[in-house]
Chain A
Amino acid sequence: MTNYLRSFRVAGGIFALVAGGLSAAADKPAAAPAKIAPPTAPIPSPAPRFVQAPTGNTLGFAFMQAGAENHGVFKQFAVELQYDEKNLAASKLLVKVQIPSLDTQDQERDTTLASAELFDAQKFPAAHFTSSSITRRADGSLAAAGKLSLRGVTQDLTLPLSLKAAGNGHDLTGSVTIKRLDFGIGQGEWKSTEWVSDEVKISYKVRLVPAGPAPGR
């Protein structure tokens, strides 16, 4: 009974507050929103969007196999960068990689890599990276901290990014080394790192152009 009465009183208080706010709004419209809910920080204006140019992009990977470095690329991937150098808080990096597009210039190795014991490309056809924060490092380059989802496993990853202005866009380059076993790439016999290294170096070179309607030519 007491609880019921108290909640009735609280509801009444809210009604009074809203009514007061409404009457205040009628007097001084400009000041009213600040009185009701003062925002703690200015709402960030969206950073300009950039997407990769149709050509000139590479996403490569390299690993040691039987003593020699083996190379491959992902032929299909999508990169989107929301970037404002004066407002890194509003900047964001999004990457999507089509795993079945992997190419090491050897059919047998590609098939093995795409198989269930390695990438399991049929079950996990896409890998994603989404940044949660982009910061500037001492040398002026950027670091995109975020999460990489690969083969059903999501892990924290920081991508070093070098951005160079190119035309009205940017050239993005960098490389990062990840451990394949962290993502379960290597089941059964491929769990061994004696013949195929755990470390895989990923390198990227992306030509970013302003997003929006394609420039007519």
Chain B
Amino acid sequence: MTFRNTTTTWGTLSRTLHWLIVAMIVVQWSIAERAESQAGLEKLQSLYWHKALGMTVLMLAVVRLLWRWVNPTPELASVTKSWERALAKFSHLALYALMFAIPLTGWLMSSARNFPVSWFKLFTFPDLISPDKATYEFFHDLHPLLFKALVVVAALHVAGALKHHFIDRNDVLKRMLPFGRVK
């Protein structure tokens, strides 16, 4: 396995970023769910972790996008039909867009509520917009809505990967698995 991507497989950095972000999104969801029923200091702590991790996802997403630009992208298996290619392209595009949009709406929500975002108490991100109740409520609704959209697209993404692996029996899934070997 190489560090960089090749035309046939994903490199170490791409795979690490992929799975790290998957894991972080799961953690983010569980923290957010728990925070819903919390109050006071507990909620404050949950939201602190949620924001710090969310901003980390955003920063990793930037790294991921840049890395994708300066690297070859592994090609899809030659047998893949054109509608499958279109669907894959759409879902990848949507996943990337949501990977940016969800943390960004969270950041906007915090700014609109006059709760600046700290990154692990090391530094504070600047507020994007000035506090406003209506704006806050808008982003407060949009943030989980985008997450639901992410779940739907991610399900499509997983279904595609499993189809490649179990039906088409190609390397598409294996080349993204942490220790997947490509023939």
Binding site for B on A (CB under 8 A): 65-71, 104-107, 109, 112, 189-190, 192, 195-196
Inside 8 A of A67's CB, which chain B residues have their CB? 48, 52, 118-122, 124
* Interface residue ranges, B against A (CB under 8 Å): 40-41, 44-45, 47-48, 52, 113-122, 124, 131, 133, 136
- Cβ contacts under 8 Å, A107 to chain B: 133
Closest residue of B by beta carbon distance from A106: B113
B41 A69 Cβ-Cβ under 8 A: no
Secondary structure of the B contact surface, majority rule: mixed
Q: Which residues of A contact B52 (CB under 8 A)?
A: 67
A189 engages B113 (CB within 8 Å): no
Q: A106-B131, A190-B41 are in contact. List 6 more A-B contacts (CB 8 A).
A: A67-B122, A68-B118, A69-B124, A105-B114, A105-B131, A107-B133
Q: Are A195 and B44 in contact (CB under 8 A)?
A: yes
Tell me the nearest residue of chain A to B49, going by C-beta: A66
Q: How far is the CA of A196 from the CA of B40 in the complex (A)?
A: 11
CB distance from A194 to the nearest CB of B (A): 9
A117 and chain B: residue at smallest CB distance: B40
Task: Tell which of B40, B115, B133 touches A112, judged by Cβ atoms closer than 8 Å.
Answer: B40
Residues of A within 8 A of B44 (CB): 65-66, 195-196
Q: Determine how close the nearest CB of chain A comes to the CB of B108; give it in whole angstroms.
A: 15
How far, in Å, is A59 (CB) from chain B's closest CB?
17
B48: chain A residues at CB < 8 Å are 66-67, 195
Shortest C-beta distance, B153 to chain A (Å), equals: 31
